[in-house]
Chain A
Amino acid sequence: MATDISSATASETVAQWFRRSSALRCTVVLAFLLVFTFLSVKAPGFLSISNFVNILVNNFTILAIVSLGMTLVLLTGGIDLSVGTAMDVGSLLFISLISAHQNFLVAIGGGLLGALATGGFNAVLIGGLRIAPFLATLGTLFIGESVQQLATNGGQPIYLITGTLTPAFGYIGHGTIFGIPFSLCLAVALIVIYYLLTERTSFGRKAVALGANPNVAWYSGARVRCTSGLVYVLSAVTCGAAGIILSATIKAYVPLSGNAYLLDAIGATFIGTTLHSEGRPSVIGTMLGVLLLSIVTNGLLLIGWNFYWQQVGTGVLIFFVLAMSFLGQRLRA
């Protein structure tokens, strides 16, 4: 039945409440505190420095780096399904070059270049041919799978023989700067870079405008296609770096392993959108989302949940956060 006038004003009031309510915006913070408290009580060994370092290094770092790229892309109103592909390509080239006894820096360069090519491919499809980002990156994902299968003859991982590795190699995976693991330092550096990029540069401002209203951005003189293509290149290179770090840590390249990060990266970014009154993705928000997911994974493990139930738990959590975010947006509009 149609609503009459009195109930129209009632839902208007609720909408206004949501709009002004910081409570919704702090869903992430709230969820964070709840989870943290719960785990501190219930999970043995959760509240210890070594555990936190463990969380940060093992669960947080790689996902955080990948999510940075995803945040930038989602900011422009697109999506990148090929983040895993960029990771794997970077990883593949890096490990292959090391196996072929190449210089360490050459290997890194090769890996990053490969990731750059992946991103460039996306950029051409999306910025140049104006194919929808979902479809374009889906195509890249497919092609990337093929490439990896062909290169490794069916998905065989490439292992590195420890004895042949230079000390510099070990530094990436396990080295430290002032006691903090190298990978974490790199992650923090990238977080800072991305924060500055999205909040403090004109490029970042154009990216935000693209996501908010691509027409207005275009009418205001921004070269929309350029910007929208470029973010995919940046995202891919960032993910390539993550892939290199990951494979340096495990001293191997495992084909198609990057895709596991896709869902969590998207989930973390959307969790982060609840921080902003208009549902905008942000670096800070995404990092909080990644942190939340990392803590949940770690905590559930400590509690003793079956590994498989963890996935269900994480999925349900993301679902709830998303529901709140979208419900909030709907009521706001």
Chain B
Amino acid sequence: MEPVATSGGDGFQVNGAVLLRAGSLIGFGLVIGYFALAAPGFLSVGNITNVLEQSAILGVLSFGMTIVMIAGGSNVVTGGIDLSIANNLGLSAAVYAILLKIGQPDVVALGFTLLTGLGIGLLNAIAVVAIGILPLIATLTVMNICAGFELVITQNTVLQASSPLLAVLAGDGPFGIATLAYLLLIVALVLIVVIQYTPFGLRLYAVGGFREAALAAGVSVDWYIATSYILSGICGSIGAVLSVALLSGSSTGSGDMLLSVVATALLGVVFSRRLVPTISGSLLSVLFIGFLINGFQLTNISSYWVNGVEGLLILFAVATTSLVRRIET
């Protein structure tokens, strides 16, 4: 038999997804370009690292949400989502701050904080996998519970805290670039490797992509979904540590961040060729939002436009990806 040349050939296949990704990257570039021209100092090293530093917390949370979405599949309602992650951060930050306040050393405080995040993730995993509650509702309820516990601990006040670790985190690293900026990139890198370059990551995508195929391949779907929520919970607590470092304590209103987390995780899909959530896509979205906010500040555009822009971006991302998917099939 002769070799058969098949669909697409060896070359680069242009289709809807590729166009969407290219268009989004170009859009990103245009926005950056606009601000670079309109605001002096926008592209300075100092400003860029400032953006990275401010985006670190949102980034870590966004990664956690992304992991849950990967395992959950493309349908947001019936698939995976972790609405509790922002209040997870709030509660974990409260735990961290209060332990430091009563004199506990960093190690102990850090340990309990991570344990808190882990516990919340575990609760979500049990609710979704063991009991079978819809992820949307399950994580919504857990979010409520976290918010309640947070208020109990903080009594709706800001808890100031300081410690050697916090000082390091809030400070600058090599080349005068903020430690948090480095951390964002390091965490992103680690997660990219784990999610895109290990069997674990591949199977995670399989579970979300086609559950029956994953089962037929011998992958334990329940285990992977449960793990995704636990990882998300841990991301929440890591974000909490960074947040306490940045703000020198816990803060109220961490729940407000939830919308941005969901937005960036969803937006990240347009940056991937396969139209799936990815860590790098979420990182790009987080940075996009970060530069947007920063740009608004520098050009004196009211920051109240930000939420609206985020909302429009979500709708754009969702509408175009479903359009592309519909055309392709």
Contacts and interface: CB of A to CB of B under 8 A. Distances in A.
Q: How large is the interface on A (under 10, 10 to 19, 20 to 34, 35 or more residues)?
A: 35 or more
B162 interface: no
B193 to A, nearest CB: 30
Contacts of B132: 326-327, 329-330
Nearest to A325: B133
A308 B145 contact: no
Nearest to A330: B132
Main secondary structure on A side of the interface with B? helix
Interface in B116-170: 127, 131-134, 136-138, 140-145, 147-149, 151-152, 155-156
A138 B308 CA distance: 11
B222 interface: no
Interface stretch (B34-42, B43-51, B258-266): B258-266
Interface stretch (B6-14, B236-244, B299-307): B299-307
Interface residues of B, number: 43
Given A318-B141, A326-B131, A146 B76 contact: no
Nearest to B263: A142
Which of A125, A149, A315, A330 has the largest number of chain B CB atoms within 10 A? A315
Main secondary structure on B side of the interface with A? helix
Interface stretch (A12-20, A127-135, A174-182, A231-239): A127-135
A322 B138 contact: yes
B142 A134 contact: no
B309 interface: yes
B77 interface: yes
B75 interface: yes
Contacts of A8: none
Given A308-B156, A327-B132, A143 B145 contact: no
A135 B315 contact: yes
Contacts of B133: 322-323, 326
B134 A326 contact: yes
Contact of A146 (B127, B142, B152, B304): B304
18 contacts: A132-B318, A136-B318, A138-B311, A138-B314, A142-B307, A142-B311, A143-B311, A146-B304, A150-B304, A306-B152, A308-B151, A312-B145, A312-B152, A315-B147, A318-B141, A322-B137, A327-B132, A330-B131
Given A130-B322, A307-B151, A322-B133, 9 more contacts: A134-B76, A135-B266, A145-B259, A150-B302, A150-B304, A263-B143, A267-B144, A270-B137, A308-B152
Q: What are the 4 tightest A-B residue pairs by CB atom distance, in nearest-first order?
A: A142-B311, A146-B308, A312-B148, A311-B148
